Amino acid sequence: MALAHLTGDPILLDMSVEQTPLRGGAFLSAQLDPVHHEQVRRRAIELAPGFAENTGAARGDAELRAMMTAFLGRPLTDGEFRLGREQLCVDDFPRAAHWSAGRPAGADDLGVVIIGAGPSGIATAVQLERLGLRYTILERQHAVGGTWLLNRYPDARVDVNSFQYQFTFEKNYPWPDYFASAADVRAYLEHVADRHGVSARIRFGVELTRASWDERSRTWHLEVTGAGGDGDGTGGPASVEHIETQVVVSGAGMFSTPKFPDIPGIETFQGRHFHTTQWDDSWDPAGQRIAVIGNGSTGVQLMPRLAEAAERLYQFQRTPQWISPMEGYKEPISADDRALLDGIPFYWNWFCLKNWAIGMSMEAAQTVDPDWVARGGQVSERNDGLRATLTEIIRQKLGHDPELFARCVPDYAPLARRLVVDNGYYDAILRENVELVTDGIVAIDETGITTADGTHREVDAIVYAAGFQVTKYLYPTEYVGVGGITQEKAWEEDGPRAYLGITMPSFPNLFMLYGPNSQPRSGSFINAIENWARYVAQMIALMAERGIRSVEIRPEVCAAYNKRLDDESEQIIWLTEAARTRGRNYYVSEQGRQVANVPWALPEFYGMLAEPRLDDYLLTW
Ligand code: NAP
């Protein structure tokens, strides 16, 4: 398709494409029919001498749509085309917030404070920088990266392909690996912050502790604690500063508050112990007896590497996970792929789109197919296909030990919880120095961990890979909105809710990135952030253009949105399978409500975020 893009040659668009099922059909990959391969090779060789000079003609929407249709082997809805066009990254800044008619004078009066210099804070800042708006980022750590700064545990890396885990405005970033390591993601975020002029606007080592809305001035009053006299916690007592700002954008994220397991005696343990987000860099795991509690994405990712160093490693598993291997995981980008990405115009664009389209195809495996179930299936043909494929992978690895195999096969459908990705977990379980412990933990004492069968395992260190308190969205900041209502109070009765996952009644001019029900069904977190950041920046731009002092989501709009969201969630396996994972799946709250994800298909949800509708809001001037 890169050649078609470059040349406009219609023959290339007439070639047939096959839908190749991956992982039992849960994913589909559109691939060029092999009968055309030779012809494409010949054409590429013919054109190759001109690749360096040829930047190709700009293609209009009709041409791009025809190309995407041919590429994916199926017609696209308007929403899919709009989204796919952005993912193709043919524009300089595909998701830019914009002024209607140039930067207005009112833009000088509007100030924004962004909380957090993680991916959300940086993405918002890039938008505001482009609009020429005044903003400051407050970051409690001492470097950019957010979750990628905190998660420094062994082998921390993205489990979504790097070519999805990037902003659409950064072209052909030289990722070293197909699935970037935490250090590489941090370097990427630093690069973006530097290149777009954001770094200079970050204040490090300061934490927002309280934010209260002042009705009279229609501004937020922020209470900000400094880490110490010189900003790094070493130069004296913490200072408190008061800042007044019109708009607050919280990029605090969903995974910023660690969860420790609620186990009796946990505080008595005398050895090393820490949550995975508080990794102790001074700790050498070599020769140690180590307990890892938790086998979610984090535990599964770090355990194999720790096991290589440990004398003995106990992997505590309360619930088995569905774990999928991934092609190219932990592998550097091949020289061939790098040559294609760098050498053929538009190859990178279509490579990115392909990765995105494969990810999006997974959404179909998340819903229950009643006909399939009536015919004796469990969820749907594609979900059951994934289950069979992943079960077979466990069988191949552990099938020689039926008891171990049985302990590792989940009793709930794949995708009911987040699919865990790893290529080495089951091999690590089989190591002589590793024991998979599935008896429940009843206590921790000074020297180790006791399970329900009465066994006490002595350990030198405990690693808590127990996840996050995902419903504590803005924690530890206390937000106080209209009439003195706290955010905690606003969510007390019904749990966390927001409009589009971004904003909530009684909290004007406050926008959350990665708020309640904002995690999309597929695609990468970075793409989601871009969509949220555009929405928020566009809203701020509208405020500046029209002289709007405050925007507050109308309670009835927020309530109706949440009703639709809850109704739609009923169709998806997060809820249909919730009974099987009750209290053990962060997608669903203890009250049984799905609180983390967006139930709509990606094009539909991102369509809702494309442009703010002022009619949804109470406005003051
Ligand atoms: P998680 O998915 O919530 O998993 C927490 C683990 O701790 C589960 O195995 C859980 O067991 C266990 N646990 C919690 N309390 C326990 C207790 N009292 N006793 C025994 N076990 C207990 O957390 P996570 O692994 O940190 O992942 C969270 C999210 O972060 C992921 O879903 C993903 O979105 C993101 N993440 C992404 C990547 C990546 O991109 N590579 C890597 C890591 C994390 P139960 O299952 O029984 O509750």
Q: Within 13 Å, how many C-alpha atoms sit on residue 221's CB side? A: 12
CA of 271 to the centre of ligand 1 (A): 22
Q: What is the mean pLDDT of the chain?
A: 95
Q: What atom of ligand 1 comes closest to residue 421's alpha carbon?
A: 41
Cβ neighbors of 54 (< 8 A, separation 6 or more) are 6, 47, 345
Could you give the CA distance from residue 562 to residue 582 in angstroms, rounded to a whole number? 22
Same domain for 494 and 459? no
Q: What atom of ligand 1 comes closest to residue 466's alpha carbon?
A: 7
Q: Is 523 in the pocket of ligand 1 (CB under 6 A)?
A: no
Same domain for 491 and 451? no
What are the tokens at 313? 């490693």
Nearest Cα residue to atom 40 of ligand 1: 158
Using the 3D structure, point to which of 464, 491, 509 is the last residue of a domain: 464
Q: What's the rounded mean pLDDT across residues 451-480?
A: 95
Which pLDDT belongs to residue 581? 85
Q: Is 255 in the pocket of ligand 1 (CB under 6 A)?
A: yes
Q: What atom of ligand 1 comes closest to residue 300's alpha carbon?
A: 25
CA angle 142, 145, 151 (to 5 degrees): 95
CATH classification at residue 211:
3.50.50.60
Q: Is 418 in the pocket of ligand 1 (CB under 6 A)?
A: yes
Count the domains in the chain.
Answer: 2
Please report whether residue 150 resides in a domain: yes
What are the tokens at 332? 């550097």
Could you give the CA distance from residue 32 to residue 15 in angstroms, rounded to a whole number? 7
CA of 295 to the centre of ligand 1 (A): 6
Q: What's the rounded mean pLDDT across residues 218-226?
A: 96
Q: What atom of ligand 1 comes closest to residue 441's alpha carbon?
A: 19
CA of 264 to the centre of ligand 1 (A): 20
Same domain for 122 and 229? yes
Same domain for 481 and 562? yes
Could you give the CA distance from residue 213 to residue 504 in angstroms, rounded to a whole number? 13
pLDDT 10s digits, 367-416:
999 999 999 999 999 999 999 999 999 999 999 999 999 999 999 999 99
Does the pLDDT at position 356 exceed 50?
yes
By most ligand atoms within 8 Å of CB, the mutation choice from 295, 318, 442 for ligand 1 is 318
DSSP letter for 418, please: P
Nearest Cα residue to atom 48 of ligand 1: 584
* Crossing angle of helices 347-361 and 335-343, rounded to 10°: 120
CA of 464 to the centre of ligand 1 (A): 10
Same domain for 444 and 499? no
Q: Is 403 in the pocket of ligand 1 (CB under 6 A)?
A: no
CA of 131 to the centre of ligand 1 (A): 38
Q: What atom of ligand 1 comes closest to residue 465's alpha carbon?
A: 7
Q: Which helix (H) or strand (E) holds 466?
A: none
Which pLDDT belongs to residue 157? 96
Cβ neighbors of 45 (< 8 A, separation 6 or more) are none
Q: Is 520 in the pocket of ligand 1 (CB under 6 A)?
A: no
Same domain for 239 and 123? yes
Could you give the CA distance from residue 283 to residue 285 in angstroms, rounded to a whole number? 6
Which pLDDT belongs to residue 312? 98
Could you give the CA distance from residue 288 to residue 293 in angstroms, rounded to a whole number? 16
Residue 25 pLDDT class (50, 70, 90 cuts): very high
Using the 3D structure, point to which of 464, 496, 531 is the last residue of a domain: 464
Could you give the CA distance from residue 570 to residue 288 in angstroms, rounded to a whole number? 46
By most ligand atoms within 8 Å of CB, the mutation choice from 149, 262, 278, 297 for ligand 1 is 297
**Which residue in 514, 521, 509, 506 sits closest to 568, CA to CA?**
521
Same domain for 416 and 298? yes
Q: Is 417 in the pocket of ligand 1 (CB under 6 A)?
A: no
CA dihedral over 602, 603, 605, 611, signed as positive or negative: positive
Same domain for 406 and 488? no
End-to-end CA distance of the chain: 50
What are the tokens at 2? 């890169």
Q: What's the rounded mean pLDDT across residues 17-26?
A: 94
Nearest Cα residue to atom 33 of ligand 1: 297
- Determine what percent of the chain is predicted with pLDDT higher than 70: 98
pLDDT 10s digits, 80-130:
999 999 999 999 999 999 999 999 998 999 999 999 999 999 999 999 999
Same domain for 140 and 211? yes
Please report whether residue 153 resides in a domain: yes
Same domain for 123 and 206? yes
Cβ neighbors of 575 (< 8 A, separation 6 or more) are 569, 588, 592, 594
Same domain for 423 and 494? no
Using the 3D structure, point to which of 410, 434, 464 is the last residue of a domain: 464
CA dihedral over 192, 196, 200, 205, signed as positive or negative: negative
CA of 520 to the centre of ligand 1 (A): 18
Does the pLDDT at position 429 exceed 50?
yes
Q: What residue numbers bound the domain in which 485 lies?
A: 111-244+477-566
**Which residue in 134, 74, 72, 129 sits closest to 106, CA to CA?**
134
Q: Is 21 in the pocket of ligand 1 (CB under 6 A)?
A: no
What are the tokens at 567? 């109704």
Same domain for 487 and 549? yes
C-alpha pair distances (Å), 281 with each of 203, 255, 278, 307, 600: 25, 21, 9, 17, 41
Please report whether residue 422 resides in a domain: yes
Please report whether residue 513 resides in a domain: yes
Global confidence as pTM: 0.96
